[in-house]
Structure 1
Amino acid sequence: MNYIQRGTHTFKMVNIALFAGGFNTFAILWGTQPLLPEIVKEFHISPAVSSLSLSSTTIALAVSMLIAGSLSEVFGRKPVMTISLIVSSILSILTAFSPNFHLLILCRILQGISLAGLPAVAMAYLGEEIDPKSLGMAMGLYISGNSIGGMGGRIISGILTDYFSWHVALAFIGIISLLASLIFWSILPKSTHFKPRKFEIKKLAISLFVQFKEPGLLYLFLTGFLLMGCFVSLYNYIGFELMAPPYSLSQTLVGFIFIVYIVGTFSSTWMGMLADQYGKRKLLMVSLFIVLLGTCITLNSSLSLKIIGIAIFTYGFFAGHSIGSGWVGQIATHDKAQASSLYLFFYYAGSSIGGTVSGAYYSSFGWHGVVSMIVVHTIISIIIVIRLGSISIRALRHSPHRI
């Protein structure tokens, strides 16, 4: 079987397409995050309640990915991803016209459902089409598109909100995303190793839950849950922290804090390549310790050190996500899209639960409360990866790419 190898024109087209798709998805998904203080003011709600504009989207995304991954086993990878991108872009434009908080939440839930197609299927597409020796780099480039999309969405929404309104910001993001969707549709190669299944709900459901029997998959799912809970907790409430005294930063400056995503773009690709060379277990462990270090640095009252801490945290997070998500596709022995969608279900469930629960910690204990929660989650993740390593060495010894 001929797989797409690094250095070829097809490899380049795949990476550009999935980069554009990742940009689209995560610009839309995270575009409201820096707007939480504005949403609090306009709708007269608490910070924890305002986080529902993100949590409602991510939980809808998490659940829908289980369905989207299964549908792609029947209808194909590219069609499901393309429809997802176009519909979510249109919904982003419509969301900008929400007149009240309840309608905003409804629109964001619909966005979460429509956004599911790309993240649920992209990892499976790469796992099927890319040569195993090039997969770490390809997965890293895809994750880098996610990070730039998340960064771009946040920065754009922050600037446009300062100069116009959050309504204008969301509409603009929707227009950019629609253009990215057309690029994705036009240049992504069709699947060559995909074998469609019949639409049999019972068999699809059984194959979904059988994934839990794969050695190590559940540990990766739990790691994704905790890691994403940490990530959203930090970025949801750092805006409140920096817009309050003694920092008193503007919405635009807070939006530019997300430029540290650039380090995530670098780390997801570079650490993915190192994981191909030195082993995923070792590099995932290193990534988690980097997350822990960055989190603790944000406790410093110096603005410059706090931003450095955020950058270090972001570096570790995207490295860990790149390695973990790529590992899922290699451990899974069947129905890889379903395995990927399960990982992302836990991943975004962690976002929804962690992002909202940490709001209560922030309201009660301030930034120290958020940091304490992140530290506990990271330490648990490290323990899980140690356990995952022992399972991998024992049960997956026959495949060095999996360890």
Structure 2
Amino acid sequence: MKPSSLLKAAVFIIGMSAFIQVYSVQAVLPVLMADLRATEVQAGLAVGAAVLGVALMSPFMGMLSDAFGRKIFITASLLYLSLPTALLAFSADIHQMIALRFLQGLAVPGITVVLIAYIGEEFETGDVARLMAVYVSGTVFGGFMGRFLLGYLSEWAGWRGAFGVMAAVSLACALFVWQQLPKSQHFTAKPDFQTAFATLKSHVRNRYVVSASLLGMCVLCSLVGCFTYINLHLAGPPYRLNSSELADIFTVYLIGMVITPLSARLMARFGSVKTIVLAVCLSMAGVAITLSAPLAAVVVGLVLMSSGVFVTQAATINYIAAHVKQGRSLASGLYYMAYYSGGTIGALLCGLAYTGGQWSGVVYTLLAVQAAALLVAVKGMKAV
């Protein structure tokens, strides 16, 4: 089939819907800490719990959809996502919120992993590349819009009312996707779990998969740690930003919609590994700049930091594609498991760092994590 405008819109909305909820609470962490009497570490876990859910489910969702189908998993996951999102509005304490955030995260791989398989099966090579670009743009936009929307809604309707609106958005997106996403025409059920687990076993011994996974873990550890605790830093003196102003800060995330396509040119010229080294160094420079006092300098630092992360992620995925010839979906699942586990680690580790040393403690922790990423890239990855 050829992708229509409505299909492209559905793919964009799927990408957006997958990530509109994952990081949204970052914009309202100071408010949640006050209302739910949460510590910095507990507030960070409210972010990390969703990421942990994504990590745990990612390796298995591909196998399940291989056995049972594509569209049903995508639409069911979108519908399910609206339920814990709505229940967040009724959270009595931070522990309930953390549990519901974990349930949100469990839905995401049923959207992301399965959509990638769906696109690969249903479209020709040229159309696959175009639809994947649409999907990636949707994920970046969703990551921004979740923080932006929840931040502004919480100013107008309180954070509980804001979560109610966010649930309605997820439900509306699910209904649109159900109507516009065509049924699979080329899907063949492959419920061979024994072969899948044998492939999984070989991947965990593959240095290319292991190196890429470790790098991904470091990457999201630094991104989640940075964008979670910068909110607490900017909500305090001398900045004292409110929820909507913190939401504005996340417009730097949109740089990913520009940077991700440009990363292909860097990889074509320098190769994946050199591109990763350059991108991590850029990210480290950005983190260091956030120690500056002027708000404008902090924003510039965040732009550089996030740009480095987006390029690193694109180059790492390209590295996996170049080195893994069999069981690529499972290899991608392992990568995403490590990647999102890194996000949970970042939320916890940087929470402890913030408690002990405020924002400067977080910065030094992030630089150490990124130094580890450089070590993995230089020592563990073969240039392509």
TM-score, normalized by the shorter chain, greater than 0.5: yes
What is the identity, as a one-letter code, of the residue corresponding to 2:168? Answer: I
Decide whether the 8 Å contact of 2:3 with 2:127 is kept in 1: no
Cα deviation for residue 42 of structure 1 reads 1.0
What is the identity, as a one-letter code, of the residue corresponding to 1:351? Answer: G
**TM-score relative to the length of structure 1:** 0.87
What's 2:217 paired with? 225
Q: What does 1:189-200 correspond to in 2, within 5 Å?
A: 189-191=182-184, 194-200=187-193
Q: Secondary structure at the match of 2:20?
A: helix
Cα deviation for residue 182 of structure 1 reads 2.9
Q: What does 1:181-220 correspond to in 2, within 5 Å?
A: 181-191=174-184, 194-200=187-193, 202-220=194-212
Cα deviation for residue 155 of structure 1 reads 0.9
Quick one: which of 289, 300, 303 aligns to 2:295?
A: 303
Cα deviation for residue 134 of structure 1 reads 7.3
Cα deviation for residue 215 of structure 1 reads 4.9
Q: Unaligned 5+ residue runs, structure 2?
A: none
1:139–1:278 Cα change, 3 Å: farther
Cα deviation for residue 226 of structure 1 reads 0.4
1:332–1:175 Cα change, 3 Å: farther
Quick one: which of 249, 261, 281 aligns to 1:257?
A: 249
Cα deviation for residue 24 of structure 1 reads 0.7
Quick one: which of 95, 100, 121 aligns to 1:107?
A: 100
What's 1:397 paired with? none
Quick one: which of 280, 292, 296 aligns to 1:288?
A: 280
1:104–1:337 Cα change, 3 Å: same
Q: Secondary structure at the match of 2:204?
A: helix
1:130–1:277 Cα change, 3 Å: farther
Cα deviation for residue 216 of structure 1 reads 1.0
Deviation per CA, 1:167-203: give whole Å up to 9, x if none: 1111111212222223333334555665431253x44
The alignment of Structure 1 onto Structure 2 pairs a total of residues equal to: 384
Cα deviation for residue 32 of structure 1 reads 1.2
1:335–1:389 Cα change, 3 Å: closer
Q: Secondary structure at the match of 1:51?
A: helix
Q: Secondary structure at the match of 1:216?
A: helix
CA distance in 1, matches of 2:65, 2:96: 30
Cα RMSD (Å): 2.5
CA distance in 2, matches of 1:15, 1:228: 28
CA distance in 2, matches of 1:123, 1:343: 14
CA distance in 2, matches of 1:168, 1:347: 31
Decide whether the 8 Å contact of 2:38 with 2:94 is kept in 1: no
Quick one: which of 17, 20, 24 aligns to 1:24?
A: 17
What's 2:138 paired with? 145
Quick one: which of 147, 152, 160 aligns to 1:167?
A: 160
Does 1:87 find its partner at 2:80? yes
1:306–1:130 Cα change, 3 Å: farther
What is the identity, as a one-letter code, of the residue corresponding to 1:359? Answer: G
1:41–1:347 Cα change, 3 Å: same
Decide whether the 8 Å contact of 2:212 with 2:381 is kept in 1: no
CA distance in 2, matches of 1:77, 1:277: 36
Q: More deviation in 279-288 or 18-27?
A: 279-288
Deviation per CA, 1:232-265: give whole Å up to 9, x if none: 0001111111111111111110111001111011
Q: What does 1:233-244 correspond to in 2, within 5 Å?
A: 233-244=225-236
Q: Unaligned 5+ residue runs, structure 1?
A: 394-402
Quick one: which of 364, 368, 373 aligns to 2:365?
A: 373
Does 1:347 find its partner at 2:335? no
1:330–1:88 Cα change, 3 Å: farther
Deviation per CA, 1:102-156: give whole Å up to 9, x if none: 3222222221222221233344445556666776665444232112111111011
CA distance in 1, matches of 2:269, 2:104: 38
CA distance in 1, matches of 2:218, 2:124: 30
1:119–1:60 Cα change, 3 Å: same
Does 1:319 find its partner at 2:314? no
Decide whether the 8 Å contact of 2:44 with 2:228 is kept in 1: yes
1:151–1:272 Cα change, 3 Å: same
Decide whether the 8 Å contact of 1:119 with 1:341 is kept in 2: no
Decide whether the 8 Å contact of 2:11 with 2:131 is kept in 1: no
Deviation per CA, 1:58-92: give whole Å up to 9, x if none: 11221112221221221233332222112112331
Q: What does 1:7-22 correspond to in 2, within 5 Å?
A: 9-10=2-3, 15-22=8-15
CA distance in 1, matches of 2:275, 2:50: 30
Q: More deviation in 129-138 or 217-226?
A: 129-138
CA distance in 2, matches of 1:326, 1:154: 28
**TM-score relative to the length of structure 2:** 0.91
Deviation per CA, 1:284-330: give whole Å up to 9, x if none: 33322221121111111111011111011111212222332344345
Report the identity percentage.
Answer: 26
